[in-house]
Every structure is written in C-alpha cells, then in structure tokens.
Structure 1
Amino acid sequence: MPADLAVIGLGHHGLPLAQAAIAAGIDTVGFDTDPRAVAELAAGRPPVDGSLTASEIRRMLSGGFRPTTQPAELGRVRTAVICAPTPPGADRDLDLTAVTDAARALAARLRPHTTVLLESPVPPGTTEGLLRDLLEAGSGLRAGRDFHLAYSPDRLDPGSRTRGYHGTPKVIGGLTPACTESAAAFYGRLTDKVVRARGPREAETVKLLETNFRHVNIALVNEMAVLCHEIGVDLWDVIRCAETKPFGFQAFRPGPGVGGHGVPVDTLGTHRPLRMVELASQVNERMPQYVVQRCTTLLNEHGKSARGARILLLGVTYKPDLADRQAAPATEIARRLRDLGAAVSFHDPHVLDWRVRDLPVPRADSLYEAAADADLTVLLQHHRTYDLQGLAVKAQLLLDTRGATPAGAAHRL
C-alpha cells in the first residue's frame, strides 16, 4: 500500500519522527532491518530505550503506522527520511555503515519526484557526496533534477515534557533551492518553524556545532567541579548565582560523565581536528574515574576500604526518567569499582536488568533498605521518582554526582 512517508531506521529519533508524522495525519511506513524490533513495534510493545511508551506506540499503530522489514515499501512513498544510527567507530569518526545500507536499499527503489532527507549525524559533505552518489548510482536518477535531496539535523530532546517535535525549529539544507523548498514543505507539516540553511553542508555542520557545544560546556563545568572540590568552593552555589546573569552565560552542570547518542566529533574525516572538542572529550572521559576516586576517598575518610565495600549505584541511564543506557557513565564506574574489589549493586526504576562485562549487577528491590545497608550510595542519575531528602536520611554515606540533593544532605561532586 502506498504511503506519504517512509522513515528508515526505527531507533531513538526515527520513531519520534514517525510519531510526529502520524499525529500530523501523514500516512507513514517505518522501515528497519531488525526483524525483532519491527515485530515488537507491530505488536504494540515499546522500544527498550524507552523513547516511546507502549500507549504511544499503540496510538501510532491505530493511526496507520506500519513498521516493516520489506524494502519494497520504500518505492511507494513521496518522502523518505533516513534516520540510521551513526555510532563512533574505533578511530572516533562516525560509522556510516547503516546510512550506506539505508541509501542502497532506497536507491534500488527510488522513484522520480521523491524527496529524500537525511537526519543522521554525519560529517559535513556526506549528503552531497556519499549519499548523493549512492542514490544516483543505484537509481539512475539525478539528485536536484529527478528527485529532491536535503539534510536536516535531528534536534530531539528525549524525555522532555516541554520541547516536543512541533515546537522545535527544523533546520534544512537542500542540494538546490527547489530541494530546500520541498523539504520545507514536508517539515512545515510537523513543526512551527522551518529554518533554511544555505545548503546541506551548512545544515550538517549545525548538528556538529550543537553537539560539540554541549560537550565543551559540560567539560568546562566538570573541570570546575574538580577545582572547586579541591579549593573548598560550593560549585552548585556558584552556578546558581552565575545563571542570574541575563547575558553572556548559559548554565551547564557537572556530572559523572557524558552519555547519550550525540557523541562529540573532534575530527572531520580528512579535515583538521577540533582541538577544543578533543580536549573536552578527554575531560569528560575522565569523569567516571574521578567519581571512583571520590568514592574511595569518602570510604577511606570513614575508615573503610573500597575492597569489600558495599556500593549502591542509583540511576544507570544516561538521562533522567528514561530507560536508555547509551554511553551512560554508570557502566565504567561500576567496572572500575568492581576492579577495586567493591561489591556493586544498583537501583533504577527504568532498568530491570543490568550487566557489566557480561556479569549481572544485583538489582536492589527496596531502595531505602539497600541504601541503609550499603557502605556508600552514589547518585549517578536523578530520576523524578527518587526522594533525595528521604534517601539522604537512610543512606550511611551518600555521594551526589548531580547536585540534586538539598544542600548539606550529601557529599556533592
């Protein structure tokens, strides 16, 4: 059955795009090569990353959403959006394998007048280079003449209750002015505001700048956290005061490390490295080790050793109130604590099973009992359900890496 839209890649931002399209009355098919994930969605079960709930998936299905593994569906749509994952490779560059596979699957079935959009994070030049070449070679059509081609960076804020798809401006950059306008016509049905970039390279670089902006500023406050602890300054009070400045400052807060799908990119293929981003990555990657160092110091100050200590980790996801553990620092922290001989357990209302190095981490059923029994409790993620005031009373020793506990109730990062 023909559809208006094909979303290629039903991951953490492909699904929300499909959700927004269905809500806007756009007949949508979702394509993914993972048969198990597609079967789960077709049965109304939510993805394991918690990006959408079961009720949201059911509403999408009742609205006409059709998840499929059949590439033939890609040849029956007016618009195709590639949302394939681009994880960092061993050399820290983005791995474009999934984008390449998606492009080849689409190219073999591409029809004239189709609008093809790429939303995956990619190095600048990918849309008008790699993607264009694959689509043209596989279809015999020419981009900008026979079909429209454009890039639009993903701007989702997973789990946000205030910034939905409709209220987030969409940046687009087309291969030609006509490509840009075709993309604008599509996204104009999903969002209140469309921002036109000069071209696909500029739109691709928007994503690069936005992601690296986050990582660089988090690295700054992470370094400030280490410094302020050494000199006895309350960084959280410093940030509270600084954010009252009405210009020239945006508040970021430190944490145990940086997780999520938006990885920093400090090199651009054959181009020069971004030294600031490279340094920020080094700072942020050291934070799990710093948390472990703070754990051992706190234990020592209370006459205990990390070896044999019972340590409870609270919140093992990368973001509050979500089940997604993508690149969450909790994994490295647990690994390092275990290497020191600590007995590590965890509690997370969104995670029922957690393994580190293929070994299960015991899950605490009763939060307060586990905190009272642990030699040290470490808050790694502040989920909404946590009563931190009550937790601070129950825990023998509490390290708060998020600055979420009331002042004086816990040791802060």
Structure 2
Amino acid sequence: MANQLEQAIKDKTATIGIIGLGYVGLPLIDAFVNSGFKTMGFDVDQNKVEQLQAGKSYIQHIPSKTVANWLEKKQFEATAEASRMKEADALLICVPTPLTPSRDPDLTYVEKTTEAIAASLRPGQLVVLESTTYPTTTRDVLLPILEATGLKVGEDYYLAYSPEREDPGNPDFSAAGIPKVVGGLDENSLRIAAALYEHAVVNVIQVSSVEIAEACKILENTYRAVNIAMVNELKTLFDRMNIDVWEVIDAAKTKPFGFQAFYPGPGLGGHCIPIDPFYLSWLARKEGQTTRFIELAGEVNTRMPRYVIDRLSEFLNQHAKPLKGSKICMLGVAYKKDVDDPRESPSFHLLDLLLERGVEFTYNDPHIPKLPKMRHHNVPAMDSQELTPEYLAAQDCVLIATDHTAYDYDFIVKHSKMILDTRNATKNVKTGREKIFKA
C-alpha cells in the first residue's frame, strides 16, 4: 500500500482531499493545484460548496479568478458529501478547534470529521490533521476512531500531523512559501506525508513524532501571546507615566540582536493566538501541573478590551461627555489589518462593552460590509457606514480598532471630533493631533 501511494504522489496522480474550506483549506488547495495535483474540497456548509463550484470565492486573499482557474483546469471539485472522501488518496483536515465556554479544548469538529473519514476509510489513504490543537490529539483522539475500522495504521492507512501556518493578509508568505513541519504516527506515515507536502511547499521539516509537531504549533503561538501580553502590560503602565509605548518599541527594535518587536492592541484576535495558550494550560492541568506564566499572559490579553473602553470613557469625560448616549464609530472589525477575517476579533468584545454602556454604535470596515454573526457575541444586524465628512463629524468619537491600510487617516482625523487610536494608526498624521488619544 505504501509503495502504491508514494508512487501516486510522485507521479502527481494522487487526489488530495481538503476537509474544511476556510482560511486554511482554500490556500492549501491553491498550493496543491499549483503543484499539479487534482484536489477535492469538503465542507458541511452547502452554501460554500455552491459558491466554489460556481467559481466564486468568499475569502479575500483567494480571489474568485483563482477558484475559476482551478475549475477550468479540472483540478478542483467542492462537495458536501462526506461519503466521497474515499475518492481521495490523502485527506487533510483543516477544521476549527475552538474553546468551550469554560475555555477547555472543543474538538467536536475534529472528532466528527474523523468519524466521517472512518466511515469510508480504505486501504492506501493518508490522513493528516492540520488543525491547531494540543499535543497527543492525533494519537489519543484520531487514532482510536480510525482503528475502530479494523485497518492498521502504518500498513493499511497512514496518519500524520502537520500544523497550518497561515498568515492571512501577509503578501510575503503564501501557503506554498511557508515551511511545513510534519510528524507521523509511524515511519511510513511520516515518509509519505513528507513526500506529499514536498511537492506543494517550499520546505518540509520532519520531526520525530506527532506530539513534537503538535507542540511546535502551540509553542509558536504561545510565544506570540506571551510577548504581546508583555507589551500590553507595559502599555498600561507607560500610559500612566505619559510615555508613548509605540515610540519605546520603535527605539528598542533598532537593536540588531536580542530583541523582536511585538505591539500592543485592543486584545488578541484570530483563530490561533487567543486560543492556543488555553489549550496548553488545559493540558497542564490534565497532567497535574500549572502554567502560571502562560495563564497570566492570557489574563492580561483578555482584559485589554475593557482597558480600551475605560480609556474611552476617561477621554470623553475630559470633554464633558458621558459614554452612555455617545455616538461611537468603530473602524475595523477584522482581527488584523487588511483581511476579511473576523474570527476571535477583539472588536466584538469592544462592541459588547460599548452596547452594555448604552452607546449609539456604528462601524466601518472596507473588508467586512455587514457585521457577521459570532458564536460568543450578540451582534446586531448592521452595515458598514460610509466615511463621509458629515458622518465622521456627527460622531462623538472614532475608535480605531483595526488599522486597515485602506483608511485615509489624515481625512479621518480632519473630519472627526475625537479619535481613540488603539493601533498607532495615526502616527504619521501631522494636523489635528490634539484630537487623537491612544489606548
């Protein structure tokens, strides 16, 4: 079985199935299509499937013309039929791994996907989990489900873990241009998974186990979360001392060694960094240990939206204006600049706090024309407002939550009464700086 699958990968006659057609799955399809493979995309959302089959993309950094090209070359097909997973030679799992309300790992999507694979698993297939998760997931969660089929891992089918490393909105790194870490459950699984990815990405780093690969992803994102927490905490201190933390960071990063710049913000966003540290602390509790350093970082980052609203109230009070009843426009609801991805965006925590305090809330985001429904937030139905001089002048404060490049900050400052800048987006604005407050 191993020889046949390896030959099909080498000849590029293997069909690659991607399960989960979101911000990770679609770029992965693009990488395999560009390297000459036929691909199949699986998703439970029939609407997504129909859009893709019509040559339309719903993700900004994968244009519709790219999807149309996949279809034209007959290298892609989207389907919601899980039974067709048996048609793929490799199945790459790219489904969400959120947290429960108690901040424990929620592997519901991973488990259901693995059960769907098991229902039609055949000899000669490779299964790879790409979803971010805690170490031991592949061995303790996926393997028992697949073993129940009676097929033998490493002989009849192959199982590996390779964490996604997508950076949406970063033009310098596509899925194909980011090195891929791969860990296999056995030697055959590792060799075959590595051989597959070597066709599609710039470099493959083989590690000794699936647990090493899983822990690698957790380390990468916890590293970022902890360092962001540090600068967030310094920001709250330096604000009290009337020291500009942004200028401090700019000065520090001139050191050519021993320092990497991280920046404060209104909270953490995205599908990984706000979640992964809690996966690690959950795992530590399971092992009878505590991760106080990591948990403290999570607490610091989690309280940043409340800090921003407190600063907003403070600055409005300086203008004899209460927060309740104020007209507040929030710029940006995406979790980072220049993307259309709202997952875990701190903007929705800010929205919750603003609505609780009785503000007249509106927003603008050039990448998100309508406020999306969010799992943990009560989001009102609302459209993005046009940033006209009249609209800006009518707001008591414009709160910059996401620093999209598309914004004309000189124009925004000129026509606004007050700006609360959480991203240092207005750093190059020369006129009207007396209106700008940082939080």
Bin for the TM-score computed over the shorter chain: over 0.9
Partner of 2:344: 327
Q: Return the offset for 1:54.
A: 2.0
Of 407, 411, 424, which residue of structure 2 is paired with 1:403? 424
CA contact under 8 A between 2:395 and 2:417: conserved in structure 1?
Answer: yes
Distance 2:408 2:300 in 1: 31
CA contact under 8 A between 2:83 and 2:119: conserved in structure 1?
Answer: no
Partner of 1:93: 104
Aligned with 2:282: secondary structure?
coil
Give the letter aligned to residue 438 of structure 2. Answer: R
Partner of 1:43: 54
TM-score (norm: length of structure 2): 0.89
The 1:35–1:399 alpha-carbon spacing in structure 2 relative to 1, beyond 3 Å, is same
Identity of aligned pairs, percent? 38
> Deviations 1:296-339 (Å, cap 9, x if unpaired)?
11111112111221111101110111111111111121221222
Distance 1:292 1:228 in 2: 17
Q: How does 1:326-365 map to 2 (within 5 A)?
A: 326-354=343-371, 357-361=378-382, 363-365=384-386
Residue 169 of structure 2 is aligned to residue 148 of structure 1:
no
Aligned with 2:18: secondary structure?
strand
Aligned with 2:232: secondary structure?
helix
Partner of 2:26: 15
Distance 1:70 1:375 in 2: 51
The 1:371–1:61 alpha-carbon spacing in structure 2 relative to 1, beyond 3 Å, is same
Give the letter aligned to residue 350 of structure 2. Answer: I
CA contact under 8 A between 2:313 and 2:322: conserved in structure 1?
Answer: yes
Distance 1:361 1:251 in 2: 36
Partner of 1:68: 79
Aligned with 2:258: secondary structure?
coil
5+ residue gaps, structure 1: none
CA contact under 8 A between 2:129 and 2:161: conserved in structure 1?
Answer: yes
Distance 2:40 2:325 in 1: 53
CA contact under 8 A between 2:266 and 2:422: conserved in structure 1?
Answer: yes
Structure 1 stretches of at least 4 aligned residues deviating more than 6 Å after TM superposition: none
Distance 1:197 1:3 in 2: 24
- Matched positions, count: 410
Once the two structures are overlaid, the 10-residue window that deviates more, 270-279 or 127-136, is 270-279
Residue 411 of structure 2 is aligned to residue 390 of structure 1:
yes
Distance 1:330 1:137 in 2: 43
5+ residue gaps, structure 2: 1-12
Once the two structures are overlaid, the 10-residue window that deviates more, 161-170 or 70-79, is 70-79
Partner of 1:267: 282
Distance 1:350 1:220 in 2: 30
CA contact under 8 A between 2:20 and 2:93: conserved in structure 1?
Answer: yes
Distance 1:369 1:173 in 2: 57
CA contact under 8 A between 2:182 and 2:204: conserved in structure 1?
Answer: yes
Q: Return the offset for 1:367.
A: 4.1
Aligned with 1:128: secondary structure?
helix
CA contact under 8 A between 2:366 and 2:384: conserved in structure 1?
Answer: no
Give the letter aligned to residue 181 of structure 1. Answer: R
> Deviations 1:173-209 (Å, cap 9, x if unpaired)?
0112221111110000111111111100000001111
The 1:362–1:180 alpha-carbon spacing in structure 2 relative to 1, beyond 3 Å, is closer
CA contact under 8 A between 2:194 and 2:204: conserved in structure 1?
Answer: yes
Partner of 2:390: 369
Once the two structures are overlaid, the 10-residue window that deviates more, 16-25 or 399-408, is 399-408
Of 319, 328, 332, which residue of structure 2 is paired with 1:311? 328
Root-mean-square deviation over aligned CA pairs: 1.7
Distance 1:100 1:331 in 2: 28
Of 160, 173, 183, which residue of structure 1 is paired with 2:193? 183
Partner of 2:4: none
CA contact under 8 A between 1:117 and 1:149: conserved in structure 2?
Answer: yes
Partner of 1:227: 237
Distance 1:359 1:110 in 2: 43
Partner of 2:137: 126
> Deviations 1:152-192 (Å, cap 9, x if unpaired)?
01101011100112221100001122211111100001111
> Deviations 1:334-390 (Å, cap 9, x if unpaired)?
221222221111111112222662423463223443222211111100111101122
Of 260, 267, 271, which residue of structure 2 is paired with 1:250? 260
Q: Return the offset for 1:84.
A: 1.6
The 1:293–1:208 alpha-carbon spacing in structure 2 relative to 1, beyond 3 Å, is same
